[in-house]
Amino acid sequence: MVSWKRLVSTALLAFTVGTAASTGLTEAYPTSQDDAPNKLSPFNFGNRLAVECIDRNIDNGEHKFDEAGNVVYTAFPTCRETTSPLSFKYGVDETFNCTVGFTDTLFHLFQFYIHEDVPFSCRIAASSSSVDGDGLTIPLTFNFRGHITDSHLDIDSDVKAIFLHSKESKTPVSAVAFSAGTETSRYIIGEYMTIQLSTRWYAGEKGRFNLPSYASSHFNSTTFAYCIATFIATSALIIVIFQGVIFPKRLRSELMGNLSVYNNNSDFYIEKRD
């Protein structure tokens, strides 16, 4: 299975390059209707971020609109484990399951999502005050990998979710979720699919988010200190063994060898006397 480190680096690199290529000017995000930067209310560690997704027409996958012409969002399908729609905990790296039932509507929508006729476009709150109705959100797109047939769907339900969040504002900045397994399972209408979700949160500051290193994304000062202590202890043990055991043995061996040679040489030069 592809490692988390490589998945995260690839996803963040794609996000960074895509943003740089499509943006000529830097501006605050999100903004209000008059394009003024919004004051974001911070989240506390572990606060729930509910997921809402675009409501689509199952005949053609088009957005649904309300009377005012706004795109309609509905809650993510309910998870059997919690009896609530899917949500994520702010700043919490975790692995959990969300089992959803394939109603006729959801089954046909997944046909669009997997075939990539339409994106599985969702959103989460960009500010804790969004829960009270200020409407500030950031997009969260799910990319489920699989294969569609007339009778069933083959879906990779092993999903990785990556979140970038700001240390200063304590709010999410961007998010993406995608299938990252090596196997698919077959589903038909009326069956349940268990989405195996693994989430990772990466913090940045001053608008900068560094890609995690393949080799050292979890290498910290504690690990470094442990390595140094292990090196010192191992070196001391080696020195004690050499000076206390190996060197004395070799010294005695060499002394005995030299004494033997000396005795042999002395015998060689003894002359017979009359």
Q: What are phi and psi of 18, to 5 degrees?
A: -65, -40
Structural domain total, the chain = 2
Domain end residue (candidates: 187, 204, 219): 219
Both 42 and 166 in one domain: the answer is yes
Pair (117, 236) in one structural domain: no
Domain extent, residue 233, equals: 223-274
Per-residue confidence at 233, pLDDT binned at 50, 70, 90? Answer: confident
Per-residue pLDDT, averaged over 62-78, amounts to 93
Q: What is the mean pLDDT of the chain?
A: 80
Residues 206, 254 share a domain? no
**In this model, does residue 98 exceed pLDDT 90?**
yes
Q: Which residue has the higher pLDDT, 190 or 233?
A: 190
- For 210, which DSSP code? P
Residues 13 and 74 in one domain: yes
**Residue 185 backbone dihedrals phi, psi, to 5 degrees:** -125, 155
H helical segments located in the chain: 4-22, 104-115, 221-241, 247-268
On whether both 149 and 227 belong to a single domain, the answer is no
Higher pLDDT, 26 or 234: 234
Q: Are 130 and 239 within one domain?
A: no
* pLDDT over 60 (residue 66): yes
Among 144, 148, 127, 147, CA closest to 136: 127
pTM value surpassing 0.75: no
**214 and 181 both lie in a single domain:** yes
**173: closest CA among 80, 14, 10, 40?**
40
**Shared domain check, 244 and 169:** no
Residue 91 predicted with pLDDT over 90: yes
Is 126 in the same domain as 255? no
Regarding whether 270 and 183 lie in a shared domain, the answer is no
Q: Which band of pLDDT confidence, cut at 50, 70 and 90, is reported for residue 205?
A: confident
The domain boundary, picked from 219, 248, 265, lies at: 219
Which residues does residue 20 pair with via DSSP β-bridges, in sequence order?
Answer: none
Q: 77-86, 131-140, 246-255, 262-271 — which one is most confidently predicted on average?
A: 77-86
- Last residue of a domain, which of 204, 219, 234? 219
Could you tell me if 272 and 183 lie in one domain? no
Q: Are residues 272 and 200 in the same domain?
A: no
